[in-house]
Chain A
Amino acid sequence: MITGDFNVQISARVSELHDLAAMVETFGEAQELPNRTVFIINLALEELVTNTLVHGVFDDGVEPKIKINLTASKQHVTVVVESNGGAFDPTEDSNPDTTSELANRPIGGLGLHLVKAQADGYSYEFIDGINRLTLEYNTA
């Protein structure tokens, strides 16, 4: 596998999601990533962009911004997602209810659970007003 880097900065708007997904798919093809890896990275990015929109707190005139970096090396992909909008640690989110019967199952709270469950490793830091989440995926 060729190693490679992919960088993109987007406005955190749901209308950007389709273009972002297409870019990640193109990167995945170039790096010969497994389909499953491309899917779970796209899912993670969708959940994180949506999360920034829902939980981010933005001063007047400040636009939500998300910076994404993907690095593929042999048997491994690292995804770094940086966002503004105030400190929000997605790794602290509590585990949602995944066992109650249908009538009692709460609606929502699943997105970040999926991101963490599918990553092989993750870490979070808040530096100079920027949230930085690093996700690790094994591709072997």
Chain B
Amino acid sequence: MASNIDVQEEREGDVLIMIPVGRIDSSNAPIFERLVKDRIDDGETKIVVDFTKLSFISSSGMRVLLIGAKNIQSNQGKLVLCSMRDSIREIFSISGFDTIIPVVQDRIAAIDLPLTG
């Protein structure tokens, strides 16, 4: 049985910003996965996931971001992560995710990051 997750969305030009609130764990990761998939299927080619309001993420949530990054890349798009607190940044580093999914300091840097490269 899946718990819900609140994901706020904002737009800056062609960039969709998704702001998950609270926790992403195995109870609500399937719902987050569906949301990210829907946006990519809708044709979004640049998605920023802003971690400002996220206090916790487990490997279930990280898996969703990995799948999203792969899918959007196959559409010549890009997924960018920003504004992580130190505890979350640490697990992205241990898992080596930060070498394949761009992790930047804040939303401005995320929006400025070019689609290619």
Contact = CB atoms under 8 A, between A and B. Distances in A.
Size category of the A interface is: 20 to 34
B56 A107 contact: no
Given A102-B73, A110-B63, A14 B56 contact: no
Interface residues of B, number: 29
A105 B26 contact: no
A113 interface: yes
B59 A111 contact: yes
A46 B87 contact: no
B56 A50 contact: no
B93 to A, nearest CB: 10
A98 to B, nearest CB: 3
Contact of B62 (A15, A36, A110): A110
Contacts of A47: 58-59
B25 A17 contact: yes
A36 B87 contact: yes
A110 B59 contact: yes
Could you tell me the dominant secondary structure of chain A's interface residues? Answer: helix
Interface of A: 13-15, 17-18, 21, 35-36, 39-40, 42-43, 46-47, 49-50, 53, 96, 98-103, 105, 107-108, 110-111, 113-114, 117-118
Interface of B: 1-3, 23, 25-27, 56, 58-60, 62-63, 66-67, 69-70, 73, 86-88, 90-91, 94-96, 99-101
Given A18-B3, A21-B56, 18 more contacts: A15-B1, A15-B3, A17-B27, A21-B23, A36-B86, A39-B87, A39-B88, A46-B60, A50-B26, A99-B99, A102-B100, A102-B101, A103-B73, A105-B70, A107-B66, A110-B59, A113-B95, A118-B90
